[in-house]
Homo-oligomer: A and B are copies of this chain.
Amino acid sequence: MKTSNEYKESLRRMKPNIYKFGELIKDVTTHPSTRRTINGHAQIFDAALEPEYENILTTKSSLTGKKIIRYLSLIANAEDMIVNVRMKRLMFNLTGTCTGGRCVGFNALNAMWTTTFDMDKNLETNYNDRMKKWLIDAQNRDITISGALTDPKGDRSKSPIKQKDPEMNLNIVEETKNGIVVNGAKVMICGVAAANEIFIMPGTSYNEDEKNYAVSFVVPRDIENLTIVETRHPSDIRDQEKGFDNPVDIGGITQAYLLFENVFIPKERVFMNKEFNYTKKAVINFIALYRAAIGGCVAGQGDVMIGAAALMARANGLSEKTFKQKINQMIINNETTFGMGVAAAALGHKHSSGVWIPDTLLSNVNKVHVATLPYETKRLTQDIGGGIVETGCLPSFKDINNPKYGDLLKKYLKANCSSETRAKIARLIEWLTIGAGVPGCMHGGGSPDSAKIMINTKSNINHYIELAKRLADIKEDISIENKK
């Protein structure tokens, strides 16, 4: 297993193909736009060596028996899945934000493991074998793998082939003896800068006439003809500044647009090639895994918000007991998303491929919580923190250190601690609630509306109705005319 330095070295060896603000990023490990997210991902390697975290971050490979990082493992049972939820919480605790360059890939490879298994069984393909070979190799190389599902999609009221431009979803444009050629894009992809490889899978289910979109594969991040453009996020120019205005150096997020221009994928790395019938199940299994695990993410960031809020209370001279009920609510919010993830894990089932799939209903219920509860937690953090944290309402690092008036600012920023500490806490809360640390918990892993549709799909209204009829001894069947 790699050290964090070896990990960074592996990134440095790759060919630059990531841009931001119109410029090519030469070294992602040092460039201000990417180095924080890489620091965050590097913490995984460090923490894996600490006895305290070892059981969370590492496991034994079911393929080789060797000790591996958990992100490269197959999730085999409820316990594995619960540890996955814990791992996400831990990484948000350690980095303050998302280390998305690993967990989407982790979930995608598990989802596609089930799909390739099913395809091979039914279609006599050999996708699962390919995946197995690749995965053993990936475990041996101890690489980081981001995952990419979201297509640009274009006009949401039209299906992919009805778009003016049919390339709004990533698609296969050519098949050769040795592989396939793909065109299109995957957008808003987390943590690509921190990844050695990118695992691609469909972002939605497809019909027969859309089979060219039914594609899954894995590529090195620096593959030929792939251009990556990082999006800009709130306050991201502070990445380039010194001082505490960007308060966190050991974590950060990136989200990228991946532009595929006739990229050739060798067939050993292709895990789905037009088998449209299997896209739906692949996506549903991904969702079940992902939407259970994100409960840990937002709980992990919520933990940091509790700490930051309590710290600012103390900095202001107040005991956190003053805010007991608010902190209580924050804990409830965190434990709810965490707990629902655990519950989805506990009530899951084992797919015949050996992968454990969390309960779809609970997983999707949790997605709705993940899209609401953290917003209350953020609001409470700002409530406790006071005006100084709400919109980052304090002068810049440069001003606070200005020779002319900086001393006056320091004088007035002091409370029950030094002005610098108070400024750092204020900036941390800004970062967490309205700055660069805010992750995409609303739409990451799909929108809450899509989760609500899954919730309805997974609930049988007639079951509920029968319970009520039995209780009140109602025999009459009530039917509703089908109206147009």
Contact = CB atoms under 8 A, between A and B. Distances in A.
Contacts of A19: 399, 402, 404-405
B421 A455 contact: no
Interface stretch (A49-57, A62-70, A115-123, A333-341): A333-341
The interface centre, meaning the residue of A96, A244, A365, A418 with most chain B CB atoms within 10 A of its CB, is: A365
A342 B346 contact: yes
B233 A335 contact: no
A96 B383 contact: no
Contacts of A21: 396, 398-399
A179 to B, nearest CB: 22
Given A188-B387, A314-B479, A412 B319 contact: no
A427 B472 contact: yes
B387 A483 contact: no
A274 interface: no
Interface in A427-459: 427-428, 430, 434-435, 438-440, 442-444, 447-449, 452, 455-456, 459
A157 interface: yes
A213 B150 CA distance: 55
Contacts of A430: 234
Contacts of A483: 157
Interface string A115-159: 000000000000000000000000000000000001011111110
A291 interface: no
Interface in A281-339: 303-304, 306-308, 310-311, 314-320, 324-325, 327-328, 331-332, 335-336, 338-339
Interface stretch (A7-15, A194-202, A249-257): A249-257
B416 A155 contact: yes
A421 to B, nearest CB: 4
A378 to B, nearest CB: 8
Contact of A408 (B227, B238, B336): B227
B472 A440 contact: no
Contacts of A331: 365, 455-456, 459
